[in-house]
Chain A
Amino acid sequence: MAYRQQPTPGEIVIMAAGPIMLVFSFFDFASHTSSWGSGIFPVATLLPLYGVIMSVQIAVTRFTGMNLPKRVVGFSWEQVHLALGIMAALLALGFLSTDIADKQIGLWIEVLGGLALGVGAWMLQHERHTGVIG
């Protein structure tokens, strides 16, 4: 039973990425403005938001034993993670390549976090044998 409480590598990646993205969303994203600042919010805030949703869902189910509904609007939680992870990774690549004059530490961490969410969600499919990965 204790073994079951151990998070899997995919879960660890997501649970680490979410809080880190949230914290760094308050650091400068571009010039002297954070993800929550005027002109950037809420376009760049989507990335930490996705990270928080994914990490909170895993932490809650893993550590509190709370019973969340098995499906959300017809999606399994693994599918929710995969969808959010893919979108986070695409957004990360988008922010990496869009024209921003002065990229700051907040942006770099958000980009890395977004890619980590994608990788974590992908690992989760393998760990939970969803059949998405062979």
Chain B
Amino acid sequence: MNKAKLTPASSVILAGGVIMLIGSFLPFYEFSILGVSRSWNAWSSFTNLFLFPLTTLIVVFGVVMAVQVALATFAPGTSLPDRPLGFTWDQVHLVLAFQVAIMMLAYLIRDKGRLDWGAGFWLMLLAAIALLAGAILRTRDTAGAPPLS
């Protein structure tokens, strides 16, 4: 019987992906004035907020990373390409995690005017850091592993 073994890197990526998905449904930006409040999440569309589909892209990347890790760990029989577009899976994770991190950093730096960040933004930022850490850890895990036959 195959026992699923979740490495620390995979755990971090899996957790990051789940947190990213949950955070995407919570408020990314909030606005409150004189008792009137409004919020938008990563799937919302509103003029000049740069949310859907830009923030959704971040979520999709995080979810793709988590799903790949979950499939490789818990459903090893699943047929995934060895090298999608010539990249190893470690490289795919690095590319996606880097893009997620750089985009969340961009939103962190961006002047948001009178808007406030919501819980969703902070969760997505936390998830981005976790995904990047997981992707880097993953390359270290496999650095000493024998090459794929």
Which residues of A approach B to under 8 Å, CB–CB?
30, 38-46, 73-75, 79, 82-83, 86-87, 90-91, 93-95, 97-101, 125, 130-132
**Chain A nearest Cβ from B44, distance in angstroms:** 9
For this complex, 22 residue pairs linking A to B, each with C-beta atoms less than 8 Å apart, are A41-B109, A42-B106, A43-B107, A46-B102, A74-B91, A74-B139, A79-B91, A87-B95, A90-B57, A91-B57, A93-B53, A97-B53, A98-B51, A98-B54, A99-B47, A99-B48, A99-B51, A100-B47, A100-B48, A125-B86, A130-B86, A132-B86
A101-B48 in contact given A39-B113, A42-B109, A46-B106 (Cβ < 8 Å) = yes
A131-B48 in contact given A38-B111, A43-B103, A98-B53 (Cβ < 8 Å) = no
B52 touches which of A46, A73, A98 (Cβ 8 Å): A98
Q: Which residue of A lies closest to B87 (CB)?
A: A79
Asked if A99 and B49 make an inter-chain contact with CB atoms under 8 angstroms apart, the answer reads yes
Interface residues of B in 92-141 (CB under 8 A from A): 94-95, 99, 102-103, 106-107, 109-113, 139
B53-95 CB mask vs A (1 if < 8 Å, else 0) is: 1100100000000000000000000000000011100110011
Q: In the complex, A91→B99 CA distance in Å?
A: 10
What are the nearest 9 A-B pairs in CB distance?
A132-B86, A94-B54, A38-B111, A83-B95, A43-B106, A42-B106, A99-B45, A101-B47, A99-B47
Q: In the complex, A91→B54 CA distance in Å?
A: 7
**Chain A nearest Cβ from B47, distance in angstroms:** 5
Q: Which residue of A lies closest to B52 (CB)?
A: A98
**Chain A nearest Cβ from B97, distance in angstroms:** 12
The interface residues of chain B lying within 8 Å CB-to-CB of A42 are 106, 109-110
**Chain A nearest Cβ from B71, distance in angstroms:** 21
B85 touches which of A44, A94, A132 (Cβ 8 Å): A132
